[in-house]
Structure 1
Amino acid sequence: MWFKHLHLYRVHDTPALDRDTLSEALDAQAFRPLGGVEAKRMGWSAPAGRGSEQRLHEIQGHRLLSALRQERLLPAAVVREEVEARASDREAAEGGPLSRQQKQALKEQVYEEFLPRAFVRTQRLDLWWDTGRGLIGVNASSRKRAEDVLDLLRQTLGSLKVTPLATKATPTRAMTEWLRQPDERPAALELGDQVELKSNGDEGVLRGRQVDLDGEEIQTALSAGRQVTRLAFTIDEALTLVLHDDLAMKSMRFADALLDEASQTDDGDDPILRLETDFALMTQTLSNTLEQLIDWLGGEATPAAPTP
């Protein structure tokens, strides 16, 4: 259950919901598999998996929710090829080209026929809600998928006002300075071996993996005016991540010592207890890490107008 990615949001003016009320709301929006002609669907699932019906776990104000997203994979090229074949047959039979409206109707017909036979992809997306700090973090590989989960939560609650978490110093500015001036780098920050640098001109993007981030090549790129938009590092020996310019935390890896502590906890083979133990340890580490990271970035910026 350990998160691999994290997109962070500040929560605004959300009414306090007790555990029972929120659980009932989640149950009302429970996930159901796709119907025959549906292209995609989302709903809430049990974080502990199929053996559980509990859709909400809460540990000391930290809430864990899991959404399931299903979509049918119907490649546009497959639809286009079939439409072209059918259009060609009709044009030959009718002795003239089809109109744009006729081709569009043919496309819709092919789509409806092929959709029930398309492969179905299911994706789990976890949400961490720190009610004490008013923060939400979504474990999703992209901002778009994180927004999908927030839309589902907004629909579940009736309203949800959030804005992406922002800091006074932009991640790009801070990461660039960390590489440019090693002496100013936070003591608890240990550089990794991945970096992405962008220029203001047309030179494109420079990406490096398994490189010495304090090496001459990186310093030369910085001297030429490039800015750091992604950087791999470890915070306080507890969490390794790649920080992006939008404050997204990707490719997260928790310290072996923490994972060992979780694995040594006696859970009596109870999957619920195992999940909640892991969640408690993870959120404690994330909370400490975020507090430190936000401090390094000058503190939290005044949020923009929230999305209702």
Structure 2
Amino acid sequence: MWFKHLHLYRLHDAPELSSDALASALQEHAAKPLGNADARRLGWTAPAGRMGGGQLVHEIQSHRLLSALRQERLLPASVVKEEVDELVADIEASESRKVTRKEKTAFKEQVTENLLPRAFVRSQKIDLWWDTKGQMIGINASSRTRAEDILDLLRESLGSLKVTPLSSQTLPIRAMTTWLGDVASRPVDLQLGDQVELKAKGDDGVLRARQVDLDSDEIQQLLESGRQASKLAVSLEGRLSFVLHDDLALKSLRFGDALIEEADHADDGDDALARLETDFILMAQALSTDIPRLIEWLGGETQREPAAQ
């Protein structure tokens, strides 16, 4: 249940929906098996799977858990190209003429249509945390694109949804560079990890380092040469650690041992559903406490006006 990545969004004028009303809205866009002609599909699924009885929304103490299922047929372009090339070669040999570009395009569409039903299907579950009290959404996705897809699905399910990416007054790249170069500038509760990505202002590329002492002379020399920290591993008092990205995404999330032990010792009676909900609320409470602190260290939140949606 513990999220590994987090893309954060601020809700604006969020609709006041009960859990039942939200579940009903999601049900109309629930995940369905891919049809033979479908290349991909995205729909809502039960976060707890079968053990949750198909429940699409889990709400505990103003925190909601939703899950989307992304299905995609795996049809490598090289396989399609090989089939098209063979078809083109047969026609050119039998008819003694060159196949036109327009014909090749039509062949590609035909081959793709024929092969799709036989392609393997890859499924990926993407979880969404909705803090109704804090008016924030966090999506456990590896990329911003995947997170935006889930927001689009939620927007389609609700009819409208005003959200903007969470942003701070101080750009993360500026704050990370300052923390890295000046020990005194670091908040008391913030510790650096052992991973960093340094970008050059010119065309000198990107330097990535893992399992290194970030206070070493080598790192300081790179900063003095003008490089800036675009990714930085940090820890908040041992409760939560992650790699902070320059777009304010939190990657490689790890929750502190004390929190994990609290979840392990929870009295859930070996009930898998109760365990999922326990893990979720402990995680959500930790995130709703520590994310505002991180934003405060970044100079506070930037107020954005959402686009009409």
Report the 3-state secondary structure (helix = DSSP H, G, I; strand = E; otherwise coil) of the residue aligned with 2:8: strand
Deviates more, 1:69-78 or 1:296-305: 296-305
1:60-100 deviations in whole A, cap 9, x for unaligned?
11110000000001111111111011101011111101112
Q: Which amino acid aligns with 1:227?
A: Q
Q: Does 1:132 align with 2:124?
A: no
Q: CA deviation at 1:164?
A: 0.4
Residue 47 of structure 1: aligned partner? 47
Report the 3-state secondary structure (helix = DSSP H, G, I; strand = E; otherwise coil) of the residue aligned with 1:168: coil
Residue 26 of structure 2: aligned partner? 26
Q: CA 1:264/1:307 → structure 2, altered by over 3 Å: closer, same or farther?
A: farther
Q: Which amino acid aligns with 1:258?
A: L
Residue 151 of structure 1: aligned partner? 152
Provide the rounded CA distance (Å) in 1 between the counterparts of 2:263 and 2:306: 39
Q: CA deviation at 1:266?
A: 1.2
2:263–2:278 CA contact under 8 A, matched in 1: yes
2:134–2:288 CA contact under 8 A, matched in 1: no
Equivalent runs, 1:187-202 vs 2, <5 Å: 187-202=188-203
Residue 244 of structure 1: aligned partner? 245
Residue 277 of structure 2: aligned partner? 276
Q: CA deviation at 1:244?
A: 0.2
Residue 13 of structure 1: aligned partner? 13
Residue 92 of structure 1: aligned partner? 93
Provide the rounded CA distance (Å) in 2 between the counterparts of 1:278 and 1:306: 34
Equivalent runs, 1:61-210 vs 2, <5 Å: 61-210=62-211
Provide the rounded CA distance (Å) in 2 between the counterparts of 1:106 and 1:165: 45
Q: Does 1:56 align with 2:23?
A: no
Q: Which amino acid aligns with 1:217?
A: E
Q: CA deviation at 1:257?
A: 1.3
Provide the rounded CA distance (Å) in 1 between the counterparts of 2:50 and 2:82: 39
Q: CA deviation at 1:188?
A: 0.6
Residue 257 of structure 2: aligned partner? 256
Q: Which amino acid aligns with 1:76?
A: A
Residue 38 of structure 1: aligned partner? 38
Deviates more, 1:267-276 or 1:39-48: 267-276
Q: CA deviation at 1:229?
A: 0.2
Report the 3-state secondary structure (helix = DSSP H, G, I; strand = E; otherwise coil) of the residue aligned with 2:229: strand
Q: CA 1:195/1:74 → structure 2, altered by over 3 Å: closer, same or farther?
A: same
Gaps of 5+ in 1: none
1:11-51 deviations in whole A, cap 9, x for unaligned?
11222111111011111211111111100011111111222
Report the 3-state secondary structure (helix = DSSP H, G, I; strand = E; otherwise coil) of the residue aligned with 1:51: helix
Give the % identical residues. Answer: 60
Provide the rounded CA distance (Å) in 2 between the counterparts of 1:303 and 1:226: 29
Gaps of 5+ in 2: none
2:51–2:273 CA contact under 8 A, matched in 1: no
1:162–1:307 CA contact under 8 A, matched in 2: no
1:91-116 deviations in whole A, cap 9, x for unaligned?
11111011122111111110011111
Spell out structure 1 runs of 4+ moving beyond 2 A: 304-307
Residue 296 of structure 2: aligned partner? 295
Q: Which amino acid aligns with 1:48?
A: A
2:12–2:306 CA contact under 8 A, matched in 1: no
TM-score by length of 1: 0.98
Report the 3-state secondary structure (helix = DSSP H, G, I; strand = E; otherwise coil) of the residue aligned with 1:96: coil
Q: CA deviation at 1:307?
A: 5.4
1:196–1:205 CA contact under 8 A, matched in 2: yes
1:253-280 deviations in whole A, cap 9, x for unaligned?
1011111110111111222211111111
Q: Which amino acid aligns with 2:219?
A: I
Aligned-CA RMSD value: 0.9
Q: Which amino acid aligns with 2:177?
A: T
Report the 3-state secondary structure (helix = DSSP H, G, I; strand = E; otherwise coil) of the residue aligned with 1:196: strand
1:128-186 deviations in whole A, cap 9, x for unaligned?
01111111000000000001110110111011111100000011000000011101111
Q: Which amino acid aligns with 1:141?
A: S
1:191-242 deviations in whole A, cap 9, x for unaligned?
1100000011111101110111000111000001101000001112101100
